[in-house]
């Protein structure tokens, strides 16, 4: 029904910053370490800001070619959290 797995776990993330380009791609997570596995992101699907009280949170919806991940960067606490994972496949259903 809902393929989302909520994890809410702090993760190590390598982030890329570009000096120019569209605002949506100036900064994005390149890879993360989760359960001793390195996951390299191949897709930045959507980035949007939100807030928790006065704390600015940047939400990155990214994909590794198989699964989708929701990562949140807390701009005040400087932490990365893997909020959710969607198991999926990229081919449209029959």
Partner 1 sequence: MNLEISKEEAQIMHIDLNSAYATAEQQAHKSLRGRPIGVTNRISKHCCVIAASYEAKALGVKVGMRLDEVQQFIPDFIMLETDPPKYHHVYQALCRIMKDYSPDVKMKSIDEGVIDFHGTADLHKRPLTEIGMEIKERVRKEIGSHMRINVGIGTNRFLAKEAAGWHKPDGLDVIDFRNIKKYYAEQQLTDLTGIASHFEARLNAAGIFSPMQFLNASSDTLRRLVFRSVIGEDWYQRLRGYEVDNVITKLGNVGRQFVLDVRSADDSVILPRFQYLCETTGKKLRYNNVDARGVYVWAMFQTGDHWYVRKMHKQPFFTDRDIYAKALYLFNQRPKHLIITAMGITLYKLEPSTRSQQSIFDEVNKQEWLTTAIDEINERYGNFILFSANALEGKHKVKQKIPFGGTKYFELLLKRA
23 vs 36 by CB, closer to partner 1? 23
Partners of 37 in the β-ladder: 34
Cα–Cα separations (whole angstroms), residue 80 to 34, 37, 90, 91 = 12, 16, 26, 29
**What is the C-alpha to C-alpha distance for residues 43 and 74, in angstroms, rounded to an integer?**
21
Question: Interface with partner 1 includes 3 (CB under 8 A)?
Answer: yes
Q: Does 77 bind partner 1 (CB under 8 A)?
A: no
For position 2 contacting partner 1 by CB under 8 A, the verdict is: yes
21 contacts partner 1 (rule: CB under 8 A): no
Residue bearing tokens 């993760």: 11
Q: Please report, as ranges, the residues that interact with partner 1 according to CB under 8 A.
A: 1-4, 22, 24, 43, 45-46, 48-54, 59, 61, 63, 66-68, 70, 86-93
């Amino acid at each position: 029904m809902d393929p989302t797995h909520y994890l809410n776990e702090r993760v190590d993330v390598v982030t890329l910053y570009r000096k120019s380009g569209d605002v949506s791609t100036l900064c994005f997570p390149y890879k993360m370490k989760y359960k001793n596995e390195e996951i390299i992101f191949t897709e930045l699907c959507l980035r949007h800001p939100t807030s928790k009280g006065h704390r600015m949170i940047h939400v990155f919806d990214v994909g590794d070619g198989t699964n989708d991940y929701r990562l949140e960067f807390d701009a005040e606490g400087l932490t990365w959290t893997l909020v959710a994972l969607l198991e999926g496949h990229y081919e449209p259903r029959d």
